Amino acid sequence: MQVQTPAAAGPVLSLDGIVKTFPGVRALDGVRLELHAGQVTALIGENGAGKSTIVKLLTGIHQPDEGRIMVDGRPVTFPTAQAAGQAGVTAIHQETVLFDEMTVAENIFIGHAPRTRLGLIDRRTMRDRARAILQGIGADLDPDARLRDLGIASKHLVAIARALSIDARVVIMDEPTAALSHKEIAELYELVEKLKRQGKAILFISHKFDEIFRIADRWTVFRDGQFVGEGMMADVTEADLVRMMVGRSVDQIYPKRPAQIGPPVLTVAGYCHPTEFEDITFTLHRGEILGFYGLVGAGRSEVMQALFGITQPSKGACRIAGDVRVIRTTAQAVDAGIVYVPEDRGRQGAVKGLPIFQNVTLPSLSRTSRGGFLRLAEEFKLSRDYTQRLDLRAASLDQDIALLSGGNQQKVVIAKWLATRPRVIILDEPTKGIDIGSKAAVHDFMSELAAEGLAVIMVSSEIPEVLGMSDRVIVMREGRIAAEFTGRDMTPENLVRAAVGIDRPARGEAA
Ligand SMILES: Nc1ncnc2c1ncn2[C@@H]1O[C@H](COP(=O)(O)OP(=O)(O)OP(=O)(O)O)[C@@H](O)[C@H]1O
Ligand SMILES: [Mg+2]
């Protein structure tokens, strides 16, 4: 008897001739996509190429204007999220909506909680199943913990657990590793392997080529809402994929310009926090890009939040341009010339419901308003300048920021803070979620502003970015400064060793 292998059986899910328009934008223009059992298909494209829109069509959030969605070769429609779930399609979204006031288990089972015979929510079963799913993905979380007490990375694991609580044949992951630490990323890769072995068809959306090459079996590239090509990972190179997605080859050399490092702008002395960090002391100079490297959870973002007045240090002092400044609120920080572009830009950065141009000019209003009137033309000009420099892709600057793709929203938030012309800008993971072509634009702009005298702190977990852009690197580990490197000591090995706490072998010692 011949057993048909899943690969020979044709795609589990396929899309053909899909068109989706939004007012002013043709987000998808006749695209195709195939997902196969036991294989990972990477969907690759620039910010705004239409990747998340595909996810929304497959999960019943939007309906296609034209084209067909097929499961096992049969046309289907997903009028609601429930319909998609029943057809066995589940997604881990870029922004899964979770509820802070509910427990982990409640968040996992929203809408499909196990019930007792009386029709009440069966809390014990729910908790047990939640625990089993969490264990299955290597997440050490208490099902009874309130979501609001968890960090971003843990919340992401809850979102993953929620997606897997539906018994799915197709699992969609939209930038799933963007908010995870190294350890959690490794666990996610294991999870993907496990799902593959179970025969699930996986759609994987990512801007990180290393992970695409590591876990994907197939690729599909979209550009400007159009299908560019598809094939097997074994048959392409990174350069091929980049050329297809951007339409040109991209120079991956970091555009760091030699900067004139000036006098100290920011001096932080003995900053402490009861739980997050201890004895943080460093100086930042005019024109300098100072990299902060460390594992996720090392306390880098927490230090930055204290410098920006989101939290308060329990001890320590900070001088800006020589003057001692007490920063207890973000308004005081902005007043002192410090701004912070957070990592979690969706929540802390963009004001949804406001047009793009107002999102950019919001904190710079004193520059664009005269005698109490907002100068619309000036607001527009300022936003246009800054967003163009960051390679923003938007139909118009009048558009609500909420309608932009994830990566483009991030560019607006970066533009907004740069437009305030601060003395010091703190960029937390500035290119996370930003495509490879736009990354160069962000780096270029950063480098140019530093050359004009801006002092930059760049928190980044990407070693090539840290090494490529920084004049100097501070490595944090477990809430403390573990090491500082300049010049030829700025090597990947030194950074990693300091971040994980392996001491450097003494000079001359055999390796
Ligand atoms: N509800 C909407 N209304 C108007 N335009 C929208 C809406 N949703 C998406 N768009 C537009 O559709 C296009 C595709 O967006 P999409 O979110 O699919 O991009 P993406 O490939 O996921 O990008 P990223 O890498 O930045 O996440 C963008 O131009 C976006 O602005
Ligand atoms: Mg997206």
Q: What is the pLDDT of residue 185?
A: 80
Q: Is the pLDDT of residue 52 over 90?
A: yes
- pLDDT band of 162, cuts 50, 70, 90: confident
Which residue owns the Cα nearest ligand 1 atom 1?
Answer: 403
Please report the atom of ligand 1 found closest to the CA of residue 56. 18
Ligand nearest to the CA of 93: 2
d(CA 407, CA 192): 24
Question: Residues lining ligand 1, judged by CB closer than 6 Å?
Answer: 22, 25, 27, 45, 47-53, 403-408, 435
> Matching CATH topology for 6-246 and 259-337+422-502?
yes
Which residue owns the Cα nearest ligand 1 atom 8?
Answer: 403
- The string of pLDDT tens digits covering residues 188-201 is 888 899 889 989 99
Q: What is the pLDDT of residue 34?
A: 98
Decide: pTM greater than 0.75: yes
Report the pLDDT averaged over residues 173-179: 80
Of residues 187 and 31, the one with the higher pLDDT is 31
Q: What is the pLDDT of residue 168?
A: 87
- State in Å: Cα 19 to ligand 2 middle: 17
Q: Is the pLDDT of residue 369 over 80?
A: no
CATH number for 259-337+422-502 (one of 3.40.50.300, 3.30.930.10, 3.30.70.141, 3.30.530.20): it is 3.40.50.300
Which residue owns the Cα nearest ligand 1 atom 3?
Answer: 403
User: How many other C-beta atoms can be found within 10 angstroms of the C-beta atom of residue 371?
Assistant: 5
User: How many other C-beta atoms can be found within 10 angstroms of the C-beta atom of residue 381?
Assistant: 14
- State in Å: Cα 354 to ligand 2 middle: 20
Q: What is the pLDDT of residue 111?
A: 81
- pLDDT band of 140, cuts 50, 70, 90: confident
Cα Rg of the chain, angstroms = 24
Every domain of the chain and the residues it spans: 6-246, 259-337+422-502, 353-420
- State in Å: Cα 53 to ligand 1 middle: 6
Residue from 29, 392, 398, 404 to probe ligand 1 pocket by mutation (most atoms less than 8 Å from CB): 404
- State in Å: Cα 426 to ligand 2 middle: 24
- The string of pLDDT tens digits covering residues 119-128 is 899 999 999 9
Give the tokens for residue 437: 């072509």
CATH fold for domain 6-246: Rossmann fold (3.40.50)
d(CA 24, CA 397): 12
Please report the atom of ligand 1 found closest to the CA of residue 54. 18
- State in Å: Cα 467 to ligand 1 middle: 32
Q: What is the pLDDT of residue 4?
A: 45
- pLDDT band of 346, cuts 50, 70, 90: low
Q: What is the pLDDT of residue 510?
A: 40
- The string of pLDDT tens digits covering residues 280-307 is 999 999 999 999 999 877 899 999 999 9
User: How many other C-beta atoms can be found within 10 angstroms of the C-beta atom of residue 468?
Assistant: 18
Which residue owns the Cα nearest ligand 1 atom 9?
Answer: 403
Q: Under a CB-based contact definition with an 8 Å cutoff, are residues 454 and 295 in contact?
A: no
Report the pLDDT averaged over residues 271-276: 93
Which residue owns the Cα nearest ligand 1 atom 12?
Answer: 27
Q: Under a CB-based contact definition with an 8 Å cutoff, are residues 407 and 207 in contact?
A: yes
- The string of pLDDT tens digits covering residues 399-428 is 999 889 888 988 998 898 888 889 999 999
The two beta strands, 25-35 and 226-232, are: unpaired
Residues, CB within 5 angstroms of ligand 2 (ion): 52, 405-406
Residue from 53, 92, 177, 345 to probe ligand 1 pocket by mutation (most atoms less than 8 Å from CB): 53
- pLDDT band of 366, cuts 50, 70, 90: low
Report the pLDDT averaged over residues 325-351: 83
Q: Under a CB-based contact definition with an 8 Å cutoff, are residues 147 and 104 in contact?
A: yes
In terms of Cβ atoms closer than 10 Å to its own Cβ (0-12, 13-18, 19+), residue 73 is exposed
Ligand nearest to the CA of 207: 1
Which residue owns the Cα nearest ligand 1 atom 24?
Answer: 47
Q: Is the pLDDT of residue 506 over 90?
A: no
Report the pLDDT averaged over residues 225-237: 97
Report the pLDDT averaged over residues 34-45: 97
- pLDDT band of 97, cuts 50, 70, 90: confident
Please report the atom of ligand 1 found closest to the CA of residue 48. 19
Residues 6 or more apart whose CB falls under 8 angstroms from that of 330 comprise 308, 309, 310, 340
- pLDDT band of 1, cuts 50, 70, 90: very low
Q: What is the pLDDT of residue 511?
A: 38
